[in-house]
Amino acid sequence: MREDQLPTAPSFVVQGSPIRPLDPIDAAILRLLRADGRASIRSVAEQVHISRANAYARINRMLDDGVIRGFAALVDHERAGQGASAYITLKIVQDSWRSVRSKLACLPGATHIALVSGDFDVLLLVHTADNRALRELVLTRIQAMPEVLSTRTLLVFEETDLLPE
């Protein structure tokens, strides 16, 4: 059988990019990059026992496919002057998710937005300088959005970012 006739794993297309299952090497590369996004290609290649060219090609493929969406710093929000953190749950007008998401994404301190099921529709994580700034954000910015029916604010007392082993 010729190489172009070999069976391939099923792939699906989401927003123009094929979805391919990750092999163990790709999964190992992702674990390493999640733990240290500044790791060099050489270091990654050595740790997963592949050539630098192979590591470079795999990382670029995962970037092109949208598996890796970018690289970011892990922030200690308290040391960065954002001493108050909260999860805010929102009930929103049906079919307003896209509009609400774009408005929430523009809020200062918003770091995570999720459309969820259950007793509320949206879960928003925010970091603000203090409780006064948090109150101002919720009462004057979020609750002023016409699509927002109600909110509930859950203060975060302590948080831990989980990293791959």
- Condensed to tens digits (0 to 9), the pLDDT of residues 3-59 reads 344 344 444 445 555 677 899 999 999 999 998 999 999 999 999 999 999 999 999
Report CA torsion sign: 122, 125, 129, 130.
positive
Q: Alpha helix locations (H) across 106-162?
A: 131-136
Contacts of 103 (CB under 8 A, 6+ apart): 145, 147
pLDDT confidence bin for 72, thresholds 50/70/90: confident
Taking residues 133-142, what's their average pLDDT? 97
74-123 pLDDT, tens per residue? 888 899 999 999 999 999 999 999 999 999 999 999 999 999 999 999 99
HSE at residue 162, side-chain half, CA atoms within 13 A, is 0
Instruction: Give 13's strand partners.
Output: 18
Map residue 79 onto helix, strand or coil: coil
Question: Hey, what domains does the chain have and what are their CATH numbers?
Answer: 3-64 (1.10.10.10), 84-156 (3.30.70.920)
CA dihedral angle for residue 15, residue 18, residue 20, residue 25, rounded to 10 degrees: -90
Rounded alpha-carbon distances, angstroms, from residue 73 to 35, 41, 77, 112, 161: 10, 18, 11, 15, 12
- Structure token digits, residue 142: 């979020």
